Amino acid sequence: MRLLHRVLAPALTLLLAMAGALVATPAQAASTGAAFTGTYENFFQHIGKSQAEVDQKVQDLYTAIYTENGPADQRIYYPVGSDMAYIQATYEQDVRSEGMSYAMMVALQLGDRGRFDKLWKFAKTYMQCPNVNTDCGGRYDRLFIWHVDDVAPYRHFSLPGGEPEYTPAPDGDVYFATALLMASARWGDGAGIFDYGSEAAFILDELKDTTDLQPGELSIFNPDNKLVRFIPTWVEGSGSLVDTSYQLPGFYEYWSRNDPTTANRAYWNEAAGAARGYWRDVLDKAGNRGNGIFPDCTKQDGGPLDQYSCASGYKHGSDGWRTIQNVAFDHYWYAGDTDGHAPLAEQRAWVDQLLGFMRPRRASMQGEWYVDGTPASDWSGGAGQALMYASAATVASDSATRDDFLRLAWDQPVTTGEWRYYHSSLHMLGFLHLAGKYRAYDIGAPSTATSVYADSLAPGWRAGSFGGSVDTAVSAPAYGGSGTSVGLTPGGPWDAVTFAPATALPAAGIGNVVLRVHGGSSGTRQLQLMVNPATDGSGDWGTRVPLDAPAGTWTEFRVPLANLGNPATIGTIALQDRSGQTPPTFYVDDVRLG
């Protein structure tokens, strides 16, 4: 039967778009950080950009850079057969753990499970030690070779002397672990290599493991100070160097709350505190010049290097661009944390210092700087540098400075040509931070990450409709440009597309109903979301939440169950026309409970 038309209850109804998304988080600490409040701001609203404009900009960037549909001189994503893909480092024409793990994080944040799985399968097959091409000499078990060939069979390279090169670049391993752990939280675990939580746990264990090390091999985390090494080997002293951008306390804090191996969590909490303290030491030993400029690399105690065997050494260069983003999102996610080693109050001051220093120079920023604020190069850092600095605007104190960097970020074109790999990788990450789409997905009860539809219906789920006709395998439009979506062609007003499990699910532990909606060919679809406790829709439909979905684009909605009437069980999810007219076909994708 058709759902009854009745007046919407004004209480507890809320229009949610992506910027207002709520993410389930642990309750052990009260905090102002976004990882606790669940509120991730769309900062571009401060320069007059609408949510629809921001959503479209994100989709355009993603399509250009991270899909097979991007222009040939912009994309860095390349499919391998039907079930794998890699990210090409275009200037060297290889595949790097850095770029692969960044891309997986981007796909995770945008809900593109299909491409996430393809990237992960390539990394698992050809980059993680051991793999189909090598046993890595028994070294670096479960860690990732930092680069492999971009031509089949995708083998590792050799050092100038002919020795095989198996060493990891630790930031890639850190991003891999975090992306997998968040995938477990957001989508739930699959089978085999797609058991995301188990795969993440394996990597996390190895990052701190100091047992069974082979000659010349070191652990990623230095057990003496819990800092990530530049390279975990004694070769050329690399194990004694620290890259400031490899320190990611926001991720370690996340691990301290979500590592499946609970015995590791205290270690990660300490590592987060160590990284924050290390940054302070670096700036102190740089002379407290008040410009917020972090060098690329330092000694273990944060002191200056007298060598350049680590990125740009003690200069601030392409590695160091990323450091201020790490500082900013750590503070943005976990500010005010009362549990363990909280972000430092100085972190916001460092952001203000760097943005204040770079603001009058932003039109033509040099790519490298000495820590005293003297330019060290005559080349511009381009979109990568601009977006890393701009992403720090999430915690900037001065609104005028913030807005100048937001405009700088918004106006950056997609990088083309041979240098696009690094710039575009940073461009996408930074833009997601500013758009409010870079979020900490915490693991809660097992049911908090239930997939309903992602290119196909999840096992045990069925789709239907109240009036009209439903198609569960629409090839276009589909979110992310590939796969399929669900389309409803209404036969009259108030028709709805529905999703129901075989047996009603307990609502305990489920925070939100999350879905993406495409408004079709024209206009804006006026819809409403509701949940029924019964799988046949015979129960009370609770509170109806209005959602407006523009035509021609995908919009993500994350609606708390509290706003839907707090049903005790989830038996039917319905997305219904509320316009009172017969609308054109609209589409739904990436439906989940999380």
Please, what are the averages of pLDDT over each run of 10 residues along the chain (594 residues)?
32 28 34 84 96 93 96 98 97 97 97 96 98 93 97 94 90 98 92 97 95 87 96 75 97 96 95 97 88 94 81 91 97 85 91 97 92 92 96 96 98 97 98 96 59 88 94 89 88 95 85 90 95 93 92 87 89 96 94 86
pLDDT at 480: 67
Three-point CA angle 457, 458, 463, nearest 5°: 40
CATH ID of 445-593, from 2.60.120.430, 3.40.190.10, 3.40.50.1980, 2.60.40.1080: 2.60.120.430
pLDDT at 566: 87
Question: Can you tell me the distance from the alpha carbon of 588 to that of 323, in angstroms, rounded to the nearest whole number?
Answer: 38
Maximal CA-CA distance, the chain:
77
Q: Which token pair is 225?
A: 């100070």
Would strands 450-453 and 554-560 be described as parallel, antiparallel, or unpaired? unpaired
- For 80, how many CA atoms within 13 A lie in the half-sphere containing its CB? 21
By CB atoms closer than 10 A (0-12, 13-18, 19+), residue 337 is: buried
Question: Can you tell me the distance from the alpha carbon of 236 to that of 230, in angstroms, rounded to the nearest whole number?
Answer: 12
Question: Can you tell me the distance from the alpha carbon of 143 to that of 2, in angstroms, rounded to the nearest whole number?
Answer: 54
pLDDT at 537: 92
Three-state DSSP at 215 gives coil
Q: Domain ranges for the chain, please list them.
A: 76-208, 445-593
pLDDT at 234: 67
* Cα distances (angstroms) measured from residue 216 to each of 140, 233, 251, 488: 11, 5, 27, 60
CB atoms within 10 A of CB 182: 26
pLDDT at 313: 86
What's the Rg (C-alpha) of the chain? 24
Inter-residue contact 550 to 511 (CB < 8 Å)? no
CATH code given to domain 76-208: 1.50.10.10
Read out DSSP for 66-86?
HSTTS-TTT--EEEETTTEEE
First to last CA, the chain: 29
Q: Which token pair is 57?
A: 């900009």
Question: Can you tell me the distance from the alpha carbon of 310 to that of 304, in angstroms, rounded to the nearest whole number?
Answer: 12
pLDDT at 449: 52
User: Looking at the DSSP assignment, which residues form a beta bridge with residue 234?
Assistant: none
Helices 170-187 and 249-258, axial angle in degrees (round to 10): 40
